[in-house]
Amino acid sequence: MAYMTQNLAVTQPFMDRFAALRAEFSHRRAQRAEADRVFRELSMMTEYELTDLGISRHSIRDIAAEAGRRV
């Protein structure tokens, strides 16, 4: 009787995977920081300033999220 074993070798060393994970974490953190910054700045504006820019107060969260995604 013949047995076939298949060893699935990790194609990428652990440190490379860890570095990629760390880079992804840093990128997401930068995205979140940018979204928070934009949200804070727009939230501090008056209704007059927001209207002048063509932004309604209820769309601030969406605008901030989009700014974060563009980092």
Q: Give the 3-state secondary structure percentages of the chain, helix then strand then coil, rounded to 5.
A: 70, 0, 30
CB 68 within 8 A of CB 38: yes
pLDDT at 52 over 80: yes
Mean pLDDT of 18-29: 96
Q: What is the pTM of this model?
A: 0.76
What is the pLDDT at residue 15? Answer: 86
- Confidence at 13, pLDDT banded by 50, 70, 90: confident
